[in-house]
Amino acid sequence: MKKIVILTSALFLGVALMAYLYFSRLGIENNAKDLALQSATNNAALVFSFQNDKGFYNIMEGQELIQQVLGQDKMSLLTQLKTSIIDDNTLNRYIKDQQVYISVLPDTNKTLNFLITIQLSPEHDIKKFYDQLKSKAAISQNSKNIYSVKLNDNQSVFMGVQSQVITVSTSLKLIKDASIRLTENPFTEFIKENNHQIKNVLAHVYINFNQAPLLLKSIIAGNINGEIAVFDKQNSYAILNYNFSKEKILFNGNTQLKDPNNYLKLFENTPAQNTTIQNILPDNTANYVMYAFDDYAKWLGKLNNWQQQNKTAEQSSTVIKNIKDQYRVDLNTIFPVYTKNQFVTFQLSTTEKLGAIALSNGEKVRQLLLDVSADYNEDIKLFKSSDILVSYFGEPFKKFGKPYYTVIDNNLIVANNASTIQVFLNNYKNNRLLIQTPQYLDAINQISNTSNVNYYINTKNSSAIFRDNIQMPFYKHLRADSGLKSFDTFCYQLSADRDKFITNLLLNKYLKPEIPDSLSNR
């Protein structure tokens, strides 16, 4: 009996040891496979990823829209790298079928640059790859593990070599940074958790909103505020899949919010909605952010909890109480009763900012608000007290402290100037609306007709805003015929799916329908 116990114990220990060794080795192998991903994602807000397969390059050669987005200089670099390495069978066998990562990172002097990262196949040796490359190109050592590689008479790059990982960039700074960045990070973990669910995808885009401020500081000419403040200190990640098209650039996937205090958390676990409030926007709308939920009473409960977490609940309660004491108007019998399921903030091409809230009975709301309002004219009123709307709708209405407003066709429209409201009314009454423009109709037909949050930019109407807020090199690329000028719409659409958002990212170019010669000659 004693022998049986000893044998059984020994067998158990042996199995446990073998399992430990197996999984330890598996973990080491997996960590080794992740080195390129770790290097590519650290400090990067945007990473483009694809498999080094000739089929991918054949497809992308026909995607002129991507080439326009990247610009001539960046496209020239990628083309030369493909010619020098990918098209060379001897060199390409070291990295065949491996994932290629192109990270967009801030560089010196308020510029952005690419860091290209790839990991050698496990069966190949990094030294042999270097020897092969040295026999085909002019290489000189810059410092430890960093080399200068001359691709042709006009193009040189820096190359970092470390632990089977190769990094390439025209920026020495990015290569040096990459050489000390082979560490696990939350962005890497997010990608690994989500990538295993995706098969047969041509390419991915990974977005780390934590790093977006560093990227934006290289692009914008001022502080991160106003309409882009949403990207400041937002602990969120997105993984999006590229859908090939010659007519548009479309990615879809999901966005996850990691910060429990994020305002957008109020729209999680809420059914996506069919929205109509965007149909009232003027045709010179430059951008908008639209929000939708299924039931305002439930959503208001979420907002109240959010205000408690962010220590603004007491301020909102004070606003509501003071109005009740001073004007004998109980706002809790107005907004919670007559608010529908959607609202929007938007900006015109003239930079003026407005907000709109959908109501179930606009005429009733107009009457109930009379005692807390001052007359500007028959159509336009002014709230006598501040922070009414932010108390009931939160962060998007912070910019409208004590606004002018009008109520029209069951919509409450607000702005900080009466003249802005008048401009809106003139456009609305004369049917000069965004929904009437073919460019807008074409864009919204490319994405889902239901959502919870929708960011929209009309690039043509935003031209003056871009000119005043974006560094000149980026503005020139936006307005260049060879750049982004022909793209008319950017849209980032979020639809709640439990604790994440199904996401569509669209960069659209409206192609005017061709008129047959037989008709145009009539």
Q: Would strands 236-243 and 248-257 be described as parallel, antiparallel, or unpaired?
A: antiparallel
Q: Which one of 184, 213, 229 terminates a domain?
A: 184
Q: Are residues 302 and 168 part of one domain?
A: no
In this structure, what token pair is assigned to residue 29? Answer: 């192998």
CA max distance for the chain: 105
In 209-361, which ranges are E strands? Answer: 236-243, 248-257, 273-274, 285-292, 339-348, 353-359
Question: With left for phi above 0 and alpha for psi between -120 and 50, is residue 515 left, alpha or beta?
Answer: beta
Q: Are residues 272 and 146 part of one domain?
A: no
CB 182 within 8 A of CB 165: yes
Cβ neighbours for 439, distance < 8 A, ≥ 6 positions apart: 458, 460, 488, 489, 508, 510
How distant is the alpha carbon of residue 240 from its chain centre?
A: 10
Q: Are residues 262 and 118 part of one domain?
A: no
Q: What is the CA radius of gyration of the chain?
A: 28
pLDDT digit string, tens, across residues 342-352: 999 999 999 99
d(CA 104, CA 119): 18
63 occurs within a structural domain: yes
Q: Are residues 386 and 280 part of one domain?
A: yes
94 occurs within a structural domain: yes
Q: Are residues 442 and 306 part of one domain?
A: yes
Q: Are residues 274 and 167 part of one domain?
A: no
d(CA 213, CA 231): 7
Q: Are residues 402 and 273 part of one domain?
A: yes
In this structure, what token pair is assigned to residue 441? Answer: 């109709």
227 occurs within a structural domain: no
In this structure, what token pair is assigned to residue 388? Answer: 């009414």
Q: Are residues 372 and 287 part of one domain?
A: yes
DSSP conformational letter for 83: I
3-state helix, strand, coil in the chain (%, to 5): 40, 30, 30
Q: Would strands 99-107 and 111-119 be described as parallel, antiparallel, or unpaired?
A: antiparallel
Cβ neighbours for 152, distance < 8 A, ≥ 6 positions apart: 80, 84
Q: Are residues 447 and 337 part of one domain?
A: yes
d(CA 290, CA 295): 16
367 occurs within a structural domain: yes
Nearest CA among 39, 51, 78, 49 for reference residue 174: 39
Specify the pLDDT at position 194: 82
Q: Which one of 135, 162, 184 terminates a domain?
A: 184
139 occurs within a structural domain: yes
Q: Which one of 166, 184, 202 terminates a domain?
A: 184
The DSSP secondary structure of 146-189, one letter per residue, reads EEEEE-SSS-EEEEEEETTEEEEES-HHHHHHHTT--S--HHHH
3-state secondary structure of 119: strand
d(CA 319, CA 335): 14
Query: What values do phi and psi take at 376, rounded to 5?
Result: -100, -50
d(CA 238, CA 256): 6
| Residue-range definition of the domain harbouring residue 435 | 258-508
232 occurs within a structural domain: no
CB atoms within 10 A of CB 130: 16
Q: Are residues 152 and 283 part of one domain?
A: no
d(CA 201, CA 22): 31
CB 223 within 8 A of CB 204: no
CB 84 within 8 A of CB 137: yes
253 occurs within a structural domain: no
Q: Would strands 411-415 and 450-451 be described as parallel, antiparallel, or unpaired?
A: unpaired
d(CA 387, CA 371): 16
Low-confidence spans in the chain with pLDDT less than 50: 1-32
452 occurs within a structural domain: yes
Torsion of CA 438, 441, 445, 446, to 10 degrees: 70
Distances (CA, A) of 472 to 104, 130, 480, 489: 19, 39, 12, 21
3-state secondary structure of 331: helix
**Burial grade of 1 (CB within 10 A; 0-12, 13-18, 19 or more):** exposed
Q: Would strands 236-243 and 203-208 be described as parallel, antiparallel, or unpaired?
A: antiparallel
In this structure, what token pair is assigned to residue 406? Answer: 């009008």
Rounded to 10°, the helix 296-309/313-327 angle is 120
How many domains, in total, are found in the chain?
2
d(CA 238, CA 254): 6
Q: Are residues 50 and 169 part of one domain?
A: yes
Q: Would strands 165-169 and 156-162 be described as parallel, antiparallel, or unpaired?
A: antiparallel
Q: Are residues 294 and 414 part of one domain?
A: yes
